Amino acid sequence: MNQDYDVVVIGAGIAGLSAAAFISSGARVLVLERESQPAYHSSGRSASVYIEGYENPVVAALTKASGDFFRSPPAGFSDDEILHPRGGLTAAKPGEEAVLAKYIERWGPLCPSLRAADRDETLTLSPILRPESICGGAWDPTWMSIDTHALVLGYQRLLRKNGGTVVANTEITALNRTGLRWTVNTQEQTYQCDTVVNAAGSWAGSIGEMVGLSKPLTPMRRTGIILKAPDEVTSWPLVHMLSGDLYFKPESPGLMVCPGDETPTVACDAQPEELDIAIALDRFQNYTDMPIGRPMHTWAGLRTFAPDRYPILGFDKSATGFFWLAGQGGFGVQTSPEMGRLAGAIVTGKEPVPTELDANRF
Ligand SMILES: Cc1cc2nc3c(=O)[nH]c(=O)nc-3n(C[C@H](O)[C@H](O)[C@H](O)COP(=O)(O)OP(=O)(O)OC[C@H]3O[C@@H](n4cnc5c(N)ncnc54)[C@H](O)[C@@H]3O)c2cc1C
């Protein structure tokens, strides 16, 4: 196998694959993945939702900029639609009227479809909400479900079409700059390249440390639970409590429930904690009157954040040819087309890194 590349991307999650797909239009690209399949970690464990009014204005702009790609990807990218209508209801508890008004005031200008829903409409949009636990809400019909599986396959198709390769079961164990090039060591092989793209998700900090670089990245665990739900569940919107302590959304074959947890942890193969599952089910029972049985499935994944909750992007000024693509938090899927495009444009020198995303801000 060829051991000489322009760019080696570390990690075949949504970040590494999207970047590789774009970079490979003008460079020889190899993606190395430690696990046996792409998207084994965070990218395969997300809620797969597209929300334009999410997290902060920078993330909102990246998400909006990704919308066109999702709606009309390049020819041959996917046989299926990537986005599916869902609708999003943000529900407020009695006493949260002022916070709800502020939420609409904050996101309304960025999301023109967002509007207030009174208590009756909120309960019509989500009939399982307990009337006594709701004072009203905000409705945004533009919230979508993302077919993450199709997206992961599509980025790989694009990469392969451009002559790029993904190699799984391959852990990067050392990185060294020798002369003008990088040497990338795995257990079995040594590769040479001009540019290393660090898209190692929750392990991006450890990859940086291999070359003496440090970034304040914190992996945080989040829990998901699938409950059996009535057949009509498929037409329900995503319901998000304004307080952020619960959301639920249809997820074949049932209803996904998430307690909105953010528990700082080390990078690992995250597993759900019994306590987080119990908290989620307790909240779900308090906010809704849907009967619940034993969860059909539970899981956990890591969302990795920089302190300002903006992604970390661009070449490190202290290490020539070392490119950061990290800190995608809870928005790495919905921002992947624009983050991938930016990575491609910056690595190939066509665009400067946007100041607010610049890896060198830390
Ligand atoms: C419960 C949950 C819900 C979420 N919901 C949403 C949502 O609705 N919408 C949204 O946009 N985002 C959501 N997210 C966030 C999203 O999943 C992440 O932002 C995204 O998956 C991060 O992608 P990544 O490629 O950076 O990381 P990962 O998918 O973790 O990929 C990193 C890869 O690097 C590999 N790697 C690490 N170290 C090495 C090494 N030394 N050698 C080789 N390979 C290595 C890992 O094995 C891994 O496969 C959610 C996350 C969770 C956990």
314 and 166 within one domain = yes
- Is residue 301 assigned to a domain? yes
CA 43 to ligand 1 centroid distance, Å:
4
- Is residue 99 assigned to a domain? yes
- Is residue 83 assigned to a domain? no
CA 32 to ligand 1 centroid distance, Å:
15
114 and 163 within one domain = no
Give the pLDDT score at 38: 98
278 and 158 within one domain = no
- Read off the pLDDT of residues 61-114 as tens digits, 9 standing for 90 and up: 999 999 999 999 999 999 999 999 999 999 999 999 999 999 999 999 999 999
Give the pLDDT score at 178: 87
- The CATH number covering residue 170 comes to 3.50.50.60
Give the pLDDT score at 166: 98
- Is residue 92 assigned to a domain? yes
Average pLDDT for 224-231: 96
Per the CB < 8 A criterion, the answer to whether 324 and 359 are in contact is: yes
- Domain count within the chain: 2
Average pLDDT for 222-233: 96
Average pLDDT for 355-362: 98
Is it the case that residue 267 has pLDDT exceeding 80?
yes
Tokens 């996917």 sit on residue: 78
Identify the residue whose C-alpha is closest to ligand 1 atom 2.
Answer: 46
Give the pLDDT score at 32: 98
Q: Ligand 1: which atom is nearest the Cα of residue 331? A: 11
- Is residue 81 assigned to a domain? no
CA 39 to ligand 1 centroid distance, Å:
7
248 and 197 within one domain = no
Average pLDDT for 129-154: 98
Instruction: With both helix axes pointing from N to C terminus, report the angle between 336-347 and 57-71 in degrees, rounded to the nearest 10.
Output: 90
- Is residue 93 assigned to a domain? yes
Per the CB < 8 A criterion, the answer to whether 7 and 163 are in contact is: no
pTM of the model: 0.98
CA 14 to ligand 1 centroid distance, Å:
7
Residues having CB within 6 Å of any atom of ligand 1: 10-16, 32-35, 39-43, 45-49, 171-172, 199-203, 222, 224, 301-303, 328-334
278 and 241 within one domain = yes
* Confidence band for 253, pLDDT divided at 50, 70 and 90: confident
Tokens 């990245």 sit on residue: 217
Average pLDDT for 215-238: 96
Give the pLDDT score at 173: 97
Q: Which residues form the domain of 226? A: 88-141+218-305
Per the CB < 8 A criterion, the answer to whether 122 and 89 are in contact is: yes
- Read off the pLDDT of residues 55-64 as tens digits, 9 standing for 90 and up: 999 999 999 9
Tokens 């930016």 sit on residue: 342
CA 336 to ligand 1 centroid distance, Å:
11
208 and 335 within one domain = yes
Mutate to test the pocket of ligand 1, among 41, 209, 225, 336 (most ligand atoms within 8 A of CB): 41
Identify the residue whose C-alpha is closest to ligand 1 atom 52.
Answer: 46
251 and 130 within one domain = yes
- Read off the pLDDT of residues 289-347 as tens digits, 9 standing for 90 and up: 999 999 999 999 999 999 999 999 999 999 999 999 999 999 999 999 999 999 999 99
Q: Ligand 1: which atom is nearest the Cα of residue 304? A: 19
Q: Ligand 1: which atom is nearest the Cα of residue 302? A: 53
Find all residues with CB under 8 Å of 112, minimum gap 6, and list them.
none
Identify the residue whose C-alpha is closest to ligand 1 atom 13.
Answer: 330
Identify the residue whose C-alpha is closest to ligand 1 atom 51.
Answer: 46
CA 226 to ligand 1 centroid distance, Å:
20
DSSP 8-state symbol, 358? B
196 and 313 within one domain = yes
Average pLDDT for 215-244: 97
71 and 44 within one domain = yes
- Is residue 82 assigned to a domain? no
Residue 170's H or E segment, with its range, is: none
159 and 112 within one domain = no
337 and 241 within one domain = no
Q: Within 10 Å of residue 218's Cβ, how many Cβ atoms?
A: 18
- Is residue 54 assigned to a domain? yes
- The CATH number covering residue 247 comes to 3.30.9.10
322 and 296 within one domain = no
What span, in angstroms and rounded, lies between the C-alpha atoms of 333 and 247?
18
